[in-house]
Amino acid sequence: MTFQEYLDYFEQILTSPEDYDPYGDAAYLNYTKLNWSRMNRWLKRFEPNQAIKSLIASMTEPQHWIVITEPWCGDAAHSVTQLYMMVKNNPNIDFEIQLRDTEPFLIEDYLTDGSKSIPKLIIRNDVGHDKVIWGPRPQPLQYLYLQMKEEGKPFEEIKEVMQKWYNEDSGEELQKELLARLS
């Protein structure tokens, strides 16, 4: 789906959560509501830096950017919106959202240490070869996440630390990582 179709789907979930599994579950729905707020905040506040703007603007060969995600994913609430904001003005970049938990289950080909961690970005050239694979989160945050998990920290504490990290970073690390991989 397009980014707009994803936003529409997200809004439908919030309007009729009982029609969408697993959003009838109050915990999933509450977290999804938070993610909706986060995404909308980034849509208003996020401005790609000059380096990534220049690099993206210079891309003249057709590319297909596929993001595997789900509305319940806290990491995706930050990264997916930022990725879209980076590429939305380049007509050579086709930006597509695929849901992790809906066929064709593309995530099966892009596991992170054996898990279906999202979001996952796959950048393909116009003949379908993968050029870049990124995700599920910026590397410094991934290291922090794995460390806290190994230390047995409660998931609520981990989520709080991660959200604080995303807010303080404001998408800079994601842009830095993409610049390194695309240059």
Q: Residue 30 belongs to a domain with what CATH number?
A: 3.40.30.10
Establish if 151 belongs to a structural domain.
no
Task: Tell me: pLDDT of 183 over 90.
Answer: no
Question: Is residue 164 domain-resident?
Answer: no
Between CA 161 and CA 157 the distance in angstroms is 6
Q: How many domains does the chain have?
A: 1
Tens of pLDDT, residue by residue over 139-174, are 999 999 999 999 999 999 999 999 999 999 999 999
Residue 62 lies in a domain: yes
**pLDDT, average across residues 128-146:** 96
24 belongs to a structural domain: yes
Q: Is residue 168 in a domain?
A: no
- Whose CA is closest to 148, among 159, 134, 158, 162? 158
Given a contact cutoff of 8 angstroms between Cβ atoms, the answer to whether 140 and 148 are in contact is no
Task: Indicate if the pLDDT at residue 14 is higher than 90.
Answer: yes
Q: Please say whether the beta carbons of 125 and 61 come within 8 A.
A: yes
**pLDDT tier at 128, thresholds 50, 70, 90:** confident
pLDDT of residue 136: 97
Contact 114, 22 (CB under 8 A): no
Whose tokens are 């909308």? That residue is 40
Q: For residue 156, tell me if it sits in a domain.
A: no
DSSP character at residue 117: -
Determine the average pLDDT of the residues in 67-76: 97
pTM: predicted TM-score of the whole model, two decimal places: 0.95
The sign of the torsion formed by the CA atoms of 162, 166, 21, 33 equals: positive
Would 105 be classed as within a structural domain?
A: yes
Structural domain of 82: 3-136
Tokens of 95: 């930006």
Tens of pLDDT, residues 35-44: 999 999 999 9
Angle between helices 74-87 and 26-45 (to 10 degrees): 30
Peptide bond into 119 cis (omega under 30): yes
* Per-residue confidence (pLDDT) for residue 113, from 0 to 100: 92
Whether residue 120 lies inside any domain: the answer is yes
Q: Is 65 exposed, middle or buried (0-12, 13-18, 19+ CB in 10 A)?
A: buried
Res 126: pLDDT? 87
Segment 79-123, tens digit of pLDDT:
999 999 999 999 999 999 999 999 989 999 999 999 999 999 999
- Taking residues 19-34, what's their average pLDDT? 94
